[in-house]
Chain A
Amino acid sequence: MRQKIIQEEESRTAIGRAYYSLYHVTGSVLQKKYSLQLIKEIQKAYPRKIDQRRLNRLDKQYLRSFNLHRIFYMTLFDLGHDTIAFQFKDFRSKRNDADYDLNLNFTEDQSRVIVHQIGNLVSKIGSL
């Protein structure tokens, strides 16, 4: 079957979507299995503006007020998964580049590689 030629905007979108799948899987794993560590990281990062009750409940609306991308990275790091944490941060940068930096050129091949690698990382984090 002939493969569809992907335009650059689709390549960029693919990277953004793939990163958010990684973000949601990471959030879900950390909330289910490492909630204490996650709460600790939020307390550490935002010592002054904490509503402890809502934080302890891991209130979804409340959690949105924090930079969870950074918190997830820090939590992975403090759990001892250094390389996974660094890869997570690399893909965060990729997503920002794809969505905000028009000077860069995202080819189809490039986006396929990045999406595939994000998929690998999702599997790794899913099995933590």
Chain B
Amino acid sequence: MITNTELNSSTATELVRQLYGETFSATETRYPETAPRDSERGTFQEPSQYERPKLKIKQLMPRPLARFPIEGNQLLATYDQSAFTARDILPHAVVQKPYEMNQIVRDFIKKQKRQLDLNKSLNTVSTRISEFMNRQGIKAKVVIDLETDTEYDDWTEPRIKVLVEPSELERVYGLFDRLLDFSLQHVRKREMKRFRITLDVG
């Protein structure tokens, strides 16, 4: 147990000052003003001896952003003239999907059994395709369309089109195996059968 005398001794204070500079106060750090004192011995209680006030969930949340002027998803310059986006503060607040999905596909999915699973798989696979193409440094656009086979009307399913520059088509075909391996990881087999992935020029 460290007593008040020990803590405020000139040697201790000098040592701390040398280590951490003038602004550091040992008493405030280890034993804050609000810490309960042991009345008999005149010393501070160890932090483990008293119960700390529990923080409520509201207190743990980031401070409200209301005071920041917002235009679209961009926060404008604030008091200290620094500009940053809402994603810097709330990483999951504004997430733009890296692919496009037509309304026809959305309507189709809504009518399917296990529509949530299908939607989730399409989302996962399309996002991974975009990630893979970015890593390879290939400019690509991912569009989810609906395809009905022209000769068999019982074969309709979402088609994930990976649109690349004409000059990149050959290179992307060379990577098709790896692209499929990467983007279909952890997708259930029964869900994989419900869509197709195609490489196209666009």
A90 and B166 within 8 A (CB): no
Chain A interface mostly: helix
Write out, one digit per residue, whether chain B residues 163-181 have a CB within 8 A of any chain A CB (1) or not (0). 0001001100100110011
Category for how many chain A residues contact B: 20 to 34
Residue B186, interface by CB 8 Å: no
- B contacts with A: majority SS: mixed
Is A113 in contact with B193, judged by CB distance below 8 angstroms? Answer: no
Contacts of A74 in B (CB 8 A): 193
- B103 → chain A, closest Cβ, in Å? 19
Q: Does B73 contact A (CB under 8 A)?
A: no
Are B201 and A110 in contact, with the CB atoms below 8 A?
Answer: yes
Give the distance in Å from the alpha carbon of A109 to the alpha carbon of B173 in the complex.
13
- Judged by a CB distance under 8 angstroms, whether B51 is at the interface is no
Chain B hits for A92, CB < 8 A: 149
* Chain A residues within an 8 Å CB radius of B150: 96, 99-100
Chain B nearest CB, measured from A49 CB (Å): 12
Stretch in B27-35, B64-72, B82-90, B152-160 with 4+ CB within 8 Å of A: B152-160
Distance between Cα atoms of A97 and B177 in the complex (Å): 22
* A89, B147: Cα distance in complex, Å: 12
A93 to B147, CA, bound (A): 8
Near B by CB (< 8 A), chain A positions 80-128 give 82-83, 86-87, 89-90, 92-94, 96-97, 99-100, 107, 109-110, 113, 117
Closest 5 CB pairs of A and B: A67-B152, A83-B180, A89-B196, A90-B198, A100-B150
Residues of A within 8 A of B (CB): 67, 69-70, 74, 77, 82-83, 86-87, 89-90, 92-94, 96-97, 99-100, 107, 109-110, 113, 117
